[in-house]
Amino acid sequence: MTVVLKLGGSVVTDKETPETVDDDALDAAVEAVAEADLDRLVLVHGGGSFGHHQADKHGVSLSAGSRDAPGVWAIHDAMRRLNDEVVARLHDAGVPALPVHPLSLAARDADAALSMPLDSTATLLGEGFVPVLHGDVVAQAGAGATIISGDEVVTRLARGLDADRVGLCSTVPGVYDDAGAVIPRISSFAEVEDVLGASDATDVTGGMAEKVRALLELDSPAHIFGPDDLAAFLAGESAGTVVDGDAA
């Protein structure tokens, strides 16, 4: 079974303080991953206070590009350093993690269509490693470099690797309705368009709305859940909000 799991930037970092890891939250997530009995796991982590802070500083987003090499490097370097921290903690917990950086793999054409070969990721999986990818900057024809969100990485992995389960672990237990209750299932964006708002912290990738949009594009159900449900998701149980576009 192939599982694709994203640890949101709000889970692994303190999004209110630039370039600060949330030690307790990251350690708890790593412990859950280490204790899970999974043969094929791919991890993705968000940018949190690392990538989002630098992207906002340099004016780069999903749609706004830059040809300023030092600025593009600053965004990637922030994500690389966060990735190093995640991988190192996974190693300390006995997880055979290895980094995979989208900047070196992916590109967009002039229409922003993404190309992201997964040969190396698939081979790492086949050899028993846990690939760890992340949101990043990628070259885009006619725009210099733009952001690729962790959510977009997740959907590319889910399709390309025929994932059996997909999960996004955020700091909330699921997608809330307008009464503050977790919505059990979403089958179309129209169902939640009125209740999804932007993130309170700096986020250049669209927040919860973009998470839901990305997961609705998958062929199989996905889950949005909080850290308390991470172990349950990894154990194969239902967690948080199920996002299933095929149920529409």
Element (H, E) at 145: strand 144-148
- Classify domain 2-247 by CATH architecture: 3-Layer(aba) Sandwich (3.40)
8 is in an annotated binding site: yes
CB atoms within 10 A of CB 128: 9
150 is in an annotated binding site: yes
CB atoms within 10 A of CB 1: 10
pLDDT of 158 over the 80 cut: yes
Q: State pLDDT tens for residues 68-119.
A: 999 999 999 999 999 999 999 999 999 999 999 999 999 999 999 999 999 9
51 is in an annotated binding site: no
52 is in an annotated binding site: yes
Predicted confidence at residue 202, as pLDDT, reads 43
What's the distance, CA 118 to chain centroid? 16
Q: What is the pLDDT averaged over residues 213-241?
A: 91
